[in-house]
């Protein structure tokens, strides 16, 4: 046994300070908060941007621009080289197959096949988008690229509505 082992495993439990419990406690009357002022009153806590009563930096700096992150289409990307490793010749590749194989991870609305790597197997690949090099490599290997329908955007819906109205006028 060593000297530093004596207190090992002993958990100390210090009683909390009883603030505002009379002059004998040493923390009576104002409870260590001084006299008057907003910080001494009950329930007051400063906001994270509080800068002593001056206009906070957050409000002094103007807001600029627009971020489309929330509304942008979430796209999962898979390379041709990964298809080569995972699938047998003559197989049909779907987004569900790629999700099960853990190649297309997370939440995504569209699947895009990219052309990184080589492809020697004949595959039928179903996806929402293909890069030009990926399409070229799949077709060169004797495979087929099948485009899946994408979610229509607001702009596309408006364009379709305009086209329908123009056709109705004629």
Give the range of the structural domain holding residue 89, as residue numbers without chain letter. 75-147
With respect to residue 168, please indicate whether it lies within any of the assigned structural domains: no
With respect to residue 40, please indicate whether it lies within any of the assigned structural domains: no
CATH number at residue 81: 3.100.10.10
With respect to residue 79, please indicate whether it lies within any of the assigned structural domains: yes
Output the pLDDT for position 38: 82
Output the pLDDT for position 78: 95
With respect to residue 58, please indicate whether it lies within any of the assigned structural domains: no
Global pTM? 0.56
Lookup: tokens for 149: 């329908």
With respect to residue 116, please indicate whether it lies within any of the assigned structural domains: yes
Per residue in 57-100, pLDDT (tens digit) is: 999 999 888 888 888 889 999 999 999 999 999 999 999 999 99
Task: Spell out, as residue ranges, where the chain has pLDDT lower than 70.
Answer: none
Closest CA to 142 of 127, 124, 122: 122
With respect to residue 62, please indicate whether it lies within any of the assigned structural domains: no
Output the pLDDT for position 21: 92
Total number of domains constituting the chain: 1
In terms of C-beta density within 10 A (0-12 exposed, 13-18 middle, 19 or more buried), how is residue 94 classed?
middle
């Amino acid at each position: 046994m060593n000297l530093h082992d004596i207190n090992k495993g002993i958990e100390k439990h210090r009683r909390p300070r009883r603030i505002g419990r009379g002059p004998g406690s040493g923390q009576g009357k104002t409870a260590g908060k001084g006299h008057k002022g907003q910080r001494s009153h009950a329930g007051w806590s400063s906001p994270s941007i509080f800068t002593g009563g001056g206009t906070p930096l957050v409000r002094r700096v103007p807001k600029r621009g627009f971020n489309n992150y929330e509304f942008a289409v979430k796209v999962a990307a898979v390379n041709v080289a990964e298809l080569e490793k995972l699938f047998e010749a003559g197989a049909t590749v779907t987004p569900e197959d790629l999700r099960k194989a853990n190649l297309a991870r997370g939440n995504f609305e569209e699947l895009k096949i990219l052309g990184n790597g080589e492809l020697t197997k004949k595959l039928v690949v179903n996806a929402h988008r293909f890069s030009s090099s990926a399409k070229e490599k799949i077709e060169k290997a004797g495979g087929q690229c099948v485009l899946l329908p994408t979610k229509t955007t607001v702009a596309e819906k408006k364009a379709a509505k305009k086209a329908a109205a123009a056709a109705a006028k004629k």
